[in-house]
Amino acid sequence: MSDNTQDAVTLETFVVGEILNLLPVLFLLVAGFFLLEAGSVRSKNATAILMKNILNVSVGITGFWLIGGGIAYGSGPVFGTDGEFYALSAGFNLGAVNLTTWMVGALFALTASSIVSGAVAERSSTESYMWWCLWSSILFYPLIVHWVWNSEGWLAEFGFVDIAGSGVVHSYGAFCAVAAVWMIGPRSERLDATGRWIDDPKSLVGHSSLMQSLGTVLLVAGFYAFNGTSVLTISFDEPDVVQYYALTLVNTALGAMGGGLTAVLMSRFTGKKVYELTHVNMGVINGSIAVCAGCFYYQPWSAYLLGVIATLVYFAVRKLMNKLQLDDPLDAVAVHGGSGFVGVFGLAIFASDPNNEVVGVIHGEFDLLYKQLVGYLVIAAVGLISTVIVLLPLSLAGYTRVSQEIEADGIDISIGQPAYPEVASKGDFIKFREFLTSQNVYSDFEEHRTAFQAWLSKEQRGTVGIAGNIPGASNIPPQGQQNASTSQTQDLSDKKHEAINVPAGNGVTDVGDEAQDSDPSTGLGTSNKQRQSVRSETSTTQAPPKVINTNKRRESMRHPSTSGAVTGANLGTSSVEGMTPSPQSSRAGTYLSRVDPSSQF
């Protein structure tokens, strides 16, 4: 074996070994998306986001293994036709280089589909997202990979250049996200009661800046492997591959820092003029994406400048999305679409190839700019059209998003797996208290905890949202109707049911001493004997409508021996008489004033 041949074998072994070492780091991109998305949504949807990302990994790699890899890496100008990459049927005979290339491609496919997951968070159905992921991994994304990264692909032969996916991965995912956001529609909190768009709703703030920041750090770490493995897979047989690899890592770091610092300055001196952590996180990601297309074709200063430009474009696209009334909870389109655009065309401007094979406008070459434009438009068309084709039938059938009840309560509750069970239970208690308030019935937080637990255990939740299960929620008349009905009630002391005044239409029946409220949905019945007991204890002072002897009833609640007290044991048949109608003075009322259910639960 000659020295040159031995050197080539040694170099290939090094490259393959380095790719294998980078694969676990590359998988940090998946973990980064997990945390970034979960932290950027409200706590009531955190589990659903994590579930969708895990399913994305399962469905995406399965589809890429069965069909997508064959389309991407097989021979042919349009798509792969030979069968060795389909389901990796050649197995061991594919060789180390092809197997590692396939694995890198599969993880890149997951990155593209994760972009859409964040854009349609908090209202898209899991089934529709999985359906789109399947088609993206088996057909549409592999087609773009074949055209750009396969040596026989027509865009590669045309001269379009994208080393690590500013266009192939990020721009494709962003255009898919635009189509998905448009078809699925905005979250309900983005619209006011008249259907008008709300620019910056306070109730839609992400629940964990810590998770979001940890996700950002993992994404940046993953981008070192993302860009590094791309360079190694296309240059494994070139003598300068190690230098290319080293410069790529340097440029990735500089691009990220340029984007992050620009985001700090933009958030401090524009808009709210405060340091916004979310914008800083996105700025770091912007810079990492912007250098993907060129990697080692940039001088360090141009990589840093691309990070700066990418963040400026991010803010512009973010405003544009708001103007177009496209609801993107994670700014996925602004981040990946804006930075992907900068990456594709930044290469055409700043490319500086030592071998003069890829040269940009700053060096007097304009051919690459035209080629990049054609490639970018092709990628955009595939992303938009494919997503519309896949989601349109589901949209017409009403399967692209969850119901309004589930969206309001949180998708986590609908699947019975809240990410924060203790917080979710407080949210349930708040909803229960809201129901009681709507009936003009109230009690202290501690006094009614037992009753709430009994009600919650009685409800068979887990497949539907809480709002649809609140006792009597569908029968609660508007507040105005309640007042109208109570104003017609005669003196309570002259009535058989003087201890409680029920709005008209609540179906109270009077059948002997044991008659009870007949509304089965509330589970809060009241017997006549209990009412008589209340009359014997209460003062003769006229109570306001639906108010139950405000002072003495509070004492009866605090002494279990009193007949009107409510306990968990008699919740199904006992009265709500024992509840104190004093929301202003109750500790629970104070608790509610500190918590915004729409933003936290």
| pLDDT per residue as tens digits for the range 455-503 | 555 554 443 333 434 344 444 444 444 444 444 444 434 444 444 444 4
Q: What angle do CA 183, 189, 191 make, to 5 degrees?
A: 70
Same-domain status, 381 and 455: no
Distances (CA, A) of 222 to 107, 193, 274, 293: 11, 43, 29, 16
In percent, the amount of the chain with pLDDT more than 70 equals 69
Query: How many structural domains is the chain composed of?
Result: 2
One domain for residues 353 and 398: yes
21 and 161 share a domain? Answer: yes
* Residue bearing the bigger pLDDT, 466 or 29: 29
pLDDT average, residue stretch 235-247? 86
Contact 170, 336 (CB under 8 A): yes
Q: CB of 259 within 8 A of CB of 287?
A: yes
pLDDT average, residue stretch 548-561: 44
For residue 434, what are the domain limits? 421-600
Write the CATH number for 270: 1.10.3430.10
Confidence of residue 376 (pLDDT cuts 50, 70, 90): very high
pLDDT at position 575: 38
Same domain, 364 and 486: no
Residue 564 contacts residue 530 (beta carbons within 8 Å): yes
Where does a domain end: 406, 438, 470?
A: 406
Tokens standing for residue 299 = 């001088």
Q: What is residue 361's predicted lDDT score, i.e. its pLDDT?
A: 94
Query: Residue 307: CB partners within 8 Å, gap ≥ 6?
Result: 254, 255, 256, 257, 258, 259, 260, 262, 283, 286, 287, 288, 290, 291
The backbone torsions φ and ψ at residue 517, rounded to the nearest 5 degrees and listed phi first, read -55, 135
Residue 5, pLDDT > 90, answer: no
User: Are 180 and 304 within one domain?
Assistant: yes
- DSSP output for 47-99: HHHHHHHHHHHHHHHHHIIIIIHHHHHSSSSSS--SSSSGGGTTGGGGHHHHH
Contacts of 76 (CB under 8 A, 6+ apart): 82, 146, 152
Alpha helices (runs of H) in 324-439, residue ranges in sequence order? 332, 338-350, 367-397, 404-409, 411-414, 421-438
- Average pLDDT over the chain reads 78
Per-residue pLDDT for 548 more than 50? no
User: Terminal CA-to-CA distance of the chain, rounded, Å?
Assistant: 69
Residue 40 three-state SS: helix
Domain assignment present for 3: no
Query: What per-residue string of b and e applies to 224-251 under the rule 16 or more CB within 10 Å gives b?
Result: bbbbbbbbbbbbbeeeebbebbebbbeb
Residue 374 shares a structural domain with residue 465: no
Whether residue 411 is contained in a domain is answered as: no
DSSP labels, 216-279: HHHHHHHHHHHHHHHHHHHHTTSTTHHHHHHHHHHHHHHHHHHHHHHHHHHHHHSTT-S--HHH
> Of 142-146, 280-284, 334-338, 353-357, where does mean pLDDT reach its minimum?
353-357
Average pLDDT over residues 147-175: 96
Beta carbons of 72 and 142 less than 8 angstroms apart: yes
Q: Could you tell me if residue 415 is inside a domain?
A: no
State yes or no: pLDDT of 505 exceeds 90.
no
> How confident is the model at residue 573, as a pLDDT?
40
Last residue of a domain, one of 406, 429, 455: 406
From CA 111, how far away is CA 29, in angstroms rounded?
A: 7
- For residue 223, tell me if it sits in a domain: yes
pLDDT at 433 over 90: no
3-class state of residue 206 by DSSP: coil
Residue 489 amino acid letter? T
The percent of residues in the chain predicted with pLDDT above 90, rounded, is: 54
For residues 382 and 442, membership in a common domain is answered with no
Say if residue 57 is in the same domain as residue 84: yes
What distance in Å separates the CA atoms of residue 449 and residue 288, rounded to the nearest whole number? 51
Total-model pTM: 0.73
Q: Report if residue 77 sits inside a domain.
A: yes
Position 135 in a domain: yes
Which pLDDT tens digit goes with each residue over 101-129? 999 999 999 999 999 999 999 999 999 99
Question: Is the pLDDT reported for residue 192 higher than 90?
Answer: no
Residue 1 falls inside a structural domain: no
Judgement on whether residues 566 and 589 belong to the same structural domain of the protein: yes
> What average pLDDT does this structure show over 357-361?
90
CA distance linking residue 26 with residue 252, whole number of Å: 14
Last residue of a domain, one of 406, 440, 458: 406
Q: How far apart are CA 214 and CA 51, in angstroms?
A: 18
| Residues 389 and 428 grouped into a single domain | no
Q: For residue 328, give every residue at least 6 positions away whose Cβ sits within 8 Å of its Cβ, in sequence order, or none.
A: 118, 119, 177, 181, 321, 334
Question: 288 and 334: one domain?
Answer: yes
Domain shared by 214 and 123, yes or no: yes
Cβ neighbours for 532, distance < 8 A, ≥ 6 positions apart: 499
214 in any annotated domain:
yes
CA dihedral angle for residue 180, residue 184, residue 187, residue 188, rounded to 10 degrees: 170
Angle between helices 95-119 and 28-40 (to 10 degrees): 0
